[in-house]
Amino acid sequence: MGILEVKGVNKRFGGLQALGDVNLSIADNVCHAIIGPNGAGKSTLLNCLVGKLIPDTGSVSFKGNSVLGRSPHEINQMGISRVFQTPEIFGDLSVLENMMIPCFAKRDGYFKLNAISDVMAQRDMVEKAEHMLEEMNMANKKDMMASSMSRGDKRRLEIGMCLAQEPSLLLLDEPTAGMARADTNNTIDLLKQIKDERDITIAIIEHDMHVVFSLADRITVLAQGTPLVEDTPENIKGHPKVREAYLGE
Ligand code: ADP
Ligand code: MG
């Protein structure tokens, strides 16, 4: 059994069937990519995994426990962390203050924004956040305003903020969308490093095939809300149905 098991998930938006009978098993400690054309249902699927959406039917379990009916916050506490399609950092806080947020969330199970000023005094949280920034290779940027950083660095911070919660499953929704090639390559290197150094499972939705083939151990192709095929990157590359549905050949 995988760390994440999705069985028979359906999700409709009015007359539109966004997900149709999705079955997906993500094995522990792999990087599993979910690819597919725009509108295939990738983000909807991710939203069903983190409690942002509730499937109409089907089941989703993480480490053997159902996530359905739990709030995004509870699911996060279970060990699933998610990076959104657009960076979700606090632009008017410094990089260090941003990194303190998940450190508090991990310790206390919740976070209040107004806690930051009180807590700058709490050395251990500052130290934990600084340590995490060092691991992300961002220690020299800790006093910068988060909004003033490049897209790639914002993403790097956001990924670090997820890791500070010590998740066992990291979900990434198009982490390199809108990035210049150099930032994309830096993000690939960062994710490779995370994969090698941590005891973590990564599920990544990605449009950029260079990113997918650089990182993925398994690939699921989603088309019109239903998994078309799941296989190794080598087999996916040559799969005629995939070339037709996804690469437009
Ligand atoms: P992807 O991430 O693969 O591009 P999405 O999961 O965002 O696809 O969307 C799948 C389909 O569901 C699309 O047709 C989209 O327009 C539709 N959709 C997504 N979210 C909503 C929503 N909240 N309300 C109505 N339709 C939605
Ligand atoms: Mg999407």
Q: Give the pLDDT confidence of 61-114 residue by residue, as tens digits.
A: 999 999 999 998 899 999 999 887 666 888 888 999 999 888 888 888 777 666
Packed helices 181-197 and 151-163: angle between N→C axes, nearest 10 degrees: 20
**44 within ligand 1 shell (Cβ under 6 A):** yes
**Contacts of range 226-233, beta carbons closer than 8 Å, 24 or more positions apart:** 226/19, 226/20, 226/21, 226/22, 227/22, 227/23, 227/24, 228/36, 230/24
Task: Of 44, 108, 26, give the one whose Cα is nearest residue 73.
Answer: 108
Task: Give residue 238's pLDDT.
Answer: 85
Q: Is the pLDDT of residue 148 over 60?
A: yes
Instruction: Report which of residues 119 and 203 the model is more confident about.
Output: 203
**What DSSP string runs through 191-237?**
HHHHHHHSS-EEEEE-S-HHHHHHH-SEEEEEETTEEEEEE-HHHHH
Cα 19 from Cα 203, distance rounded (Å): 18
Residue type at position 78: M
Backbone conformation region of residue 196, classed left if phi is above 0, alpha if psi is from -120 to 50, else beta: alpha
163-220 per-position pLDDT tens digit: 999 999 999 999 998 889 999 999 999 999 999 999 999 999 998 889 999 999 999 9
The residues spanned by each domain of the chain are: 4-245
Beta bridge partners of 135: none
What does the pLDDT read at residue 25?
Answer: 98
Say how many Å lie between the CA of residue 227 and the centre of ligand 1. 16
pLDDT at 118 over 70: no
243 vs 20, higher pLDDT: 20
Which ligand 1 atom lies nearest to the CA of residue 46?
6
Ligand 1 pocket check for 42: Cβ under 6 Å: yes
Alpha carbon distance 154, 183 (integer Å): 10
Q: Given CA atoms 167, 49, 90, 120 in this order, what sign does their dihedral have? A: negative
Q: Is the pLDDT of residue 49 over 90?
A: yes
CA-based torsion, 60, 68, 112, 43: positive or negative: positive
At 8, which amino acid appears?
G
Look up residue 149 and give its DSSP letter: S
Span from the CA of 141 to the centroid of ligand 2 (angstroms): 30
Which fold is adopted by the domain 4-245?
A: Rossmann fold (3.40.50)
Give the position, in ligand 1's atom list, of the atom nearest the Cα of 37. 3
Average pLDDT over residues 51-67: 97
Structure tokens at 156: 């790097």
Indicate the pTM of the whole model: 0.91
Residue 249 in this model has a pLDDT that exceeds 70: no
- Expressed in angstroms and rounded, the spacing between residue 10 Cα and the centre of ligand 1 is 13
Q: Does residue 111 or residue 149 have the better pLDDT?
A: 149
Per-residue pLDDT for 241 more than 90? Answer: no
What strands, in cross-sheet order, belong to the sheet with 169-173? 80-83, 169-173, 201-205, 31-35, 218-223, 226-231
Mean pLDDT across the chain:
91
- Show the tokens assigned to 71: 């709030």
pLDDT category of residue 141 using cuts at 50, 70 and 90 = very high
List C-alpha distances in Å: 141 to 27, 51, 55, 147, 234.
35, 33, 41, 12, 39
Element (H, E) at 125: helix 123-135
- How far, in Å, from the CA of 55 to the mean position of ligand 2? 17
